[in-house]
Structure 1
Amino acid sequence: MLLTPGPTPVPEFVRAAMATETLHHRTPEFEAIFKNTRELLLEILDMPEALMLSCSGTGAMEACIINLTAKKALTINSGKFGESAMIGLSEKAVAKLETNAKGYYFNLATELKNQRKNTTAWTAATTLIIGLGAILEKIKADGFDNLYADTKKRAEATREALKAIGLPIYPKTPADAMTTIFSEKSNEIRKILKNKYDVNIAGGQDDLNGKIFRINHMGLVAPFEASWAVNAIEKTLEELGLRTFDGTANKVFMETYFR
């Protein structure tokens, strides 16, 4: 069970969509898929423009810096990945691109010109765009607000469950994207969870390496998966001699999630 904050679990219906026959990116068939995915993305992001790039979020970040900053910029480092992000563009950003775009592969003006025609400047990541379209369709059908509400509910239930078995939440005002636990035994906990209970969670990085573990709440995570994770964590604590297992974590999770 993958419960890391990146990569996040990919639902079966998305994997099935991505497993369909590969399409050439310069065909009417793929352009129709691209058009639908782009329109869904603009709707969900609620931005005047959006771009899909064939790179990781770090590539998107660099593209924005290359194209939109002429001078030094002040940024607030909010953590390891605060150093590094589909791109949503404001009208002001679009206007600046049209007069001051830079770069070659990461030239966002060239990319925007092509994506407005439902194609890409360079070779498109066709299967990823098909998968993105599938998940955006699901989010739209279920309701974006409902996805946020369920994520918040799972996050709260997870935090309450883990606090109930004596684990400290980190930081004191956590975001609902993930639950982070401070523990000097984080590496041992993660190893047992993965090898014995098939629960794959993330650890800390840089100065927090070996001091925290992180449980993802983003994406389509079923409540039974989250309850399995907290139950497995309590069992792991017993194996490490840190507490006696009595089912508290699962009980508190269920009570909080379904109240």
Structure 2
Amino acid sequence: MCRWAAYRGDAIYLEELVSSPAHSLIEQSHCATRAKTSTNADGFGLAWYGDRPEPGRFRDVLPAWSDCNLKSLARQIRSPLFLAHVRAATHGSTRRDNCHPFVHDNWSFMHNGQIDHFDQLRRPMETMLDDEYFNGRHGNTDSELLFLLAMQFGMKERPLAAMAEAIGFVTGLSLHLVGSVKIRFTAAFSDGKSLYAVRYASDRFAPTLFAGPMGESGSHCVVSEPLNDDTDAWMEIPPDSAVVVDDTGLRVEAFKPAVETQRLPNLALAN
């Protein structure tokens, strides 16, 4: 399982989440405490927003703790909104195109979890994408394909609803083709203005998610696991929840995808 951290608020140096805290993201890459595996060595990535609408991005396949460029960039780059991720691969080979965050236009996305039976679901999921999103896919992970499916379903206009529809579609597809479903989904995504996060699973085992304030200015970070031992500073986000961080602050709301079957007849599922 992967580890990640996201931030929205006053501009800060990326190192304040990535490398400086006692349990920073780099520390979590080889010593995670709230994941099935403590080591996340299959690459890392950053996506940050600055003066342009689209995010900057840096990814590599090295373990986060062994890349001197990551620490240098995190020390020099300041941003009011950024996503950072260390990867433990489930689907997809260890290559740069499979490292999170994924981006499309001004949107960025990163994920901790998995879609079971992805090899059987991949082709019909791809069939739902028009040329813009199909050609925007560069890796072969379930995470990137789910992100593009949500974009196809209207994430630009209604981020959480489109993500719920994408998960509901994959749920219906898995039930139709496999007869069962297992989706683990704790993710963060952003359009450069607001930060969204979701904690969801089709069973009882949703990957962890926490949120906490940073400073006294209404800034917040959302993380896979706390960045320090100050347990009072971190709120655990319950399963079946979404987090929104915007100009009004941080709020938590229900997130419960419905099984989507209406689109299934449009696919060639006989095989």
Question: Does TM, normalized by the shorter one, top 0.5?
Answer: no
Higher share of residues assigned strand: 2
Smaller-chain TM-score bracket: under 0.3
Higher share of residues assigned helix: 1
- Which structure is richer in relative contact order (CA contacts within 8 A, separation 6 or more)? 1
In the superposition, the TM-score normalised over structure 1's length comes to: 0.24
Which protein has the larger Cα radius of gyration, Structure 1 or Structure 2? 1
